[in-house]
Chains A and B, each alone.
Chain A
Amino acid sequence: MQPHPPAGTNASVLDVAALTVATRDNAVVIVNDLTLHVRAGEMLALLGESGCGKSMTSLALMRLADGLNTSGRITLLGRDIATLPEKAMSPIRGREIAMIFQNPMSALNPVRSVGQQISETIRRHKGLSRKAARQRAIALLGEVGLADPVRCYDAYAHELSGGMCQRVMIAMAISCDPALLIADEPTTALDVTIQKQIMDLLHALKIRRGMGILMITHDLGVVAAYADRVAVMYAGRVVEQGDVHALFSAPHHPYTRGLMDSMPDLADTSDRFHAIPGMVPELRALPPGCSFAPRCTRADVQCTHVFPGHTMVDRNGFVRCFHPLQVAA
């Protein structure tokens, strides 16, 4: 197994270039020319609304986008995995990239104890004995903050709360020290107090283990509080990317701005909510030019003909817009 790049360096654990996912007949492009990277010890948030292609991106990265046309490069720890045969890909899943999902209850096997499921993963990838795997599973359950790891080991999914199940999923995901964790809406199904605990846990693991995290989410609050960088997706494309602080302080893309304004804020007590006019277009019927143009107050003729290219806004950020909100100096 390759050693992880040390935390805090600029080494990328994941480098994705020009990833495109389309249906077999190429009629619908679900993910379009996506380029991003995740460094060790960093959380990159992929932010977008339903149907923007963010979950499809995560599946494509895991090489689980079956029956679809996928192109582009996916470099994991310096090795291109985009074209690996399934036999070579299988041991990488779980060991080098792990994934957690939105609904932890349904991601666990209901008829086996959660400890057995973690042990199985460890035994499969690390070849440990039954007893050693059990020890390691119990240690992991403790590491993810479950109060009584020995008792939890023998528990079944239905005996645990949603938050506890998500902790179990995290324990399973980190059991083989993956370099990259893909978290697909891991807190959407949970209560706010539990959401905070789970996000705090992921944040701690990121720092402690130097793991890269790709956080797929629609929740701007989660992004603002926990992510280091963010990529904003709209209708299959990343339209803006940058450091969280820079992006939240001065969003460049009108869509990012609109999303931020729609988000209810505890401090704001006005009656009406800011809403972006119109609706997200269907992927099978995208407007020509910039996909956001029909909803955008800044759009002109150019926007309805050509999709804007990447404009760098600072060292780490770009925007794809002909009329960004604050033009970089």
Chain B
Amino acid sequence: MTALLRFDAVTKSYGRPSRFPWRGPAATPVLHGISLTVARGETVGIVGESGSGKSTLGRMALRLVSPTRGRVLFDGHDITAMSEREFRPFRSRVQMIFQDPHNALDPAISVGDSVSEALEATQPALSRSERGERVAALLQQVGLNPLSAGRRPHAFSGGQKQRIGIARALATRPELIVADESVSALDVSVQAHILNLMHDLREQLGLAYLFIAHDLAVVRRVSHRVAVLYRGRIVEAGGRDALFDTPLHPYTRMLLRSVPRTHPLSEAPAPGAPAEPQEPVAGCPFYTRCAERMDICRHVDPPARTVVAGHDVACHAA
């Protein structure tokens, strides 16, 4: 079966290409040779620190960013090569939920109009009353009172605004939702409500998620598969239990050790992570912070290889 979303050896660099090719590329790539698939109804978690390129990857799925090299395929169609007109039918099939629900909504219009806008854009055939009904149904679906459609965003709490953001994303009947740090700005008790809602919607509507987050405990709970990004590369990818129970890459292990304990009596944290990253070397991007580095790592960038079926790692030591 065709994957719903496929990144095929995607590389993205910003900045002008150098006029002197022999001097090498002008900028280091933000994403480097990323290959990843998301199946229908599947949640793929992307974890990584700020600057790892995880948001760029998410934006690429919506064609908000185009790759410098490589292809992005949606349902088997190369969306990178399409014209704007050809892409239009695909636009409604992928939607995004943002990190900051406050900034993602227009403060000047009612939340009902915000959701309605998305309907107008993608389903112009609907009559005004049909749109109104759809808006009410969508608000209901995300756990809000449809009667509050006339209120503006400031009247809602952070968690409610995020629900509105989800209703807006659902308006176009998407098959894939890119959730970029969608719960990280929310309080822990509110976060639980939103994650439960996202889970229920996946089961009801068969949605797939590209779930971008830095909170490993959340990613573990919601994802089927997880990819760990470091400086624009997937250093490890696998089923969530394989990846969290038997992490192979030193960086994944370091991330897992950094997760704060949830109980003061649980296992003491391992010695601190090495200090701030320094200038990268020609070889492995993690070289400067790695506790298990070897001589080869300085010079040769480790290629990704499959260790057991479905569990890939890019590390000489693993």
| Interface positions of A (Cβ within 8 A of B) | 49-50, 145, 147, 161-164, 191-197, 200, 218-222, 224-225, 244-245, 248-249, 258-260, 262-266, 268-276, 279-280
Contact = CB atoms under 8 A, between A and B. Distances in A.
Contact of B259 (A163, A245, A266, A270): A266
Given A49-B187, A49-B189, A264-B218, A275 B196 contact: yes
- 7 A-B pairs with least C-beta separation: A221-B260, A264-B217, A275-B192, A273-B192, A49-B187, A191-B49, A262-B192
Interface hub of B189, B190, B273 (most chain A Cβ within 10 A): B189
Contacts of B241: 269
B261 A221 contact: yes
8 contacts: A197-B273, A200-B272, A224-B261, A224-B266, A225-B261, A225-B269, A269-B221, A275-B196
B276 interface: yes
B275 interface: yes
Interface string B41-78: 00000000110000000000000000000000000000
A244 B264 contact: yes
Contacts of A248: 263-265
B276 A224 contact: no
B39 interface: no
Contacts of B221: 264, 268-271, 273
B196 A273 contact: yes
A268 B241 CA distance: 11
B189 A258 contact: yes
Contacts of B242: none
B214 A191 contact: yes
B87 interface: no
Contacts of A163: 276
Contact of A279 (B159, B215, B261, B264): B159
Nearest to B159: A279
Given A192-B216, A265-B217, A219 B260 contact: yes
Nearest to B220: A266
**Interface of chain B, main secondary structure:** helix
A161 B157 contact: no
Contacts, number: 124
Nearest to B222: A271
B256 interface: yes
Interface string B181-197: 00000011111110110
B9 interface: no
A257 to B, nearest CB: 11
Contact of B191 (A196, A260, A262): A262
B188 A262 contact: yes
A112 B192 CA distance: 42
A49 B188 contact: yes
A218 B187 contact: yes
Nearest to B241: A269
A164 B191 CA distance: 29
A93 B60 CA distance: 48
Given A195-B258, A263-B262, A272 B196 contact: yes
Given A197-B273, A225-B261, A264 B215 contact: yes
B255 A245 contact: no
Contacts of B273: 193, 196-197
A290 B196 CA distance: 27
Contacts of A245: 264-265
Nearest to A163: B276
A197 B275 contact: yes
Contacts of B218: 264
B244 interface: yes
A260 B192 CA distance: 11
B272 A196 contact: yes
Interface in B234-274: 240-241, 244, 254-256, 258-266, 269, 272-273
Contact of B276 (A49, A161, A259, A265): A161
Contacts of B240: 269
A273 B222 CA distance: 10
A249 B192 contact: no
A249 B180 CA distance: 34
Interface string B267-301: 00100110110000000000000000000000000
